[in-house]
A = this chain, B = another copy of it.
Amino acid sequence: MSKVTPLSGFPEMLPAQRVVEREVIDSLSRSFELHGYANIETRVVEPIDRLAKGGEIDKEIYVLRRLSAEEGEDAGLGLHFDLTVPFARYVLEHAGHLEFPFRRYQIQPAWRGERPQEGRYRQFTQADVDIVGRDELPFHHDVEVVRVMVEALDRLPVPPLTFSVNNRKLIQGFYRGLGVPDVIAAIRTIDKLDKLPAEVVAEQLVEQAGATPEQARACLELATIRGGDASFVEQVRALGVTDDLLEEGLTELAAVLDGCAGVVNDHVRVEANLRIARGLDYYTGTVLEVFMEGYEHLKSVGGGGRYDALASDGRTTYPGVGVSFGVSRTLVPLLADGVLAGSRSVPSAVLVAVVDEESRATSEAVAQALRARGIPAEVSAGAQKFGRQIRNAERRGIPFVWFPPSAHGQGDGTHQVKDIRSGDQVVAEPGSWTPPADDLHPRVVTTLSTQKEHQQ
Contacts and interface: CB of A to CB of B under 8 A. Distances in A.
Interface of A: 1-2, 4-7, 10-15, 18, 22, 33-45, 47-50, 52-53, 58-68, 71-72, 74-75, 77-79, 89-90, 92-94, 97-99, 101, 103-104, 109, 113, 123, 133, 138, 140-141, 144, 262, 313, 345-348, 357, 360, 367-368, 371, 374-379, 381-382, 392, 395-396, 441
A18 B39 contact: yes
28 contacts: A4-B92, A4-B313, A5-B93, A7-B45, A7-B77, A10-B45, A12-B43, A14-B40, A15-B39, A15-B40, A18-B39, A33-B376, A33-B441, A34-B375, A34-B376, A34-B377, A35-B376, A36-B348, A44-B109, A59-B68, A63-B64, A63-B65, A63-B67, A67-B113, A75-B113, A98-B345, A99-B395, A99-B396
Given A43-B123, A101-B381, A48 B67 contact: yes
B33 A347 contact: yes
B89 A38 contact: no
Nearest to A313: B4
What are the 7 tightest A-B residue pairs by CB atom distance, in nearest-first order?
A36-B378, A59-B68, A36-B348, A33-B347, A15-B38, A10-B43, A66-B113
Contacts of A12: 41-43, 90, 93-94
Given A35-B371, A123-B43, A4 B63 contact: no
A136 to B, nearest CB: 10
Quickly give the copy total for this chain.
Answer: 2
* Max chain B C-beta neighbours (<10 A), residue from A5, A37, A64: A64
Given A62-B67, A99-B346, A138-B382, 5 more contacts: A7-B47, A38-B345, A45-B123, A48-B67, A58-B67
Given A18-B40, A43-B123, A99-B396, A60 B66 contact: yes
* Max chain B C-beta neighbours (<10 A), residue from A367, A374, A378, A392: A378
Contacts of A99: 345-346, 392, 395-396
Contacts of A71: 72
Nearest to A104: B15
A75 B94 contact: no
A34 B371 contact: yes
Contacts of A381: 101, 133, 138, 141
A36 B346 CA distance: 6
Contacts of A103: 346, 378
A127 to B, nearest CB: 15
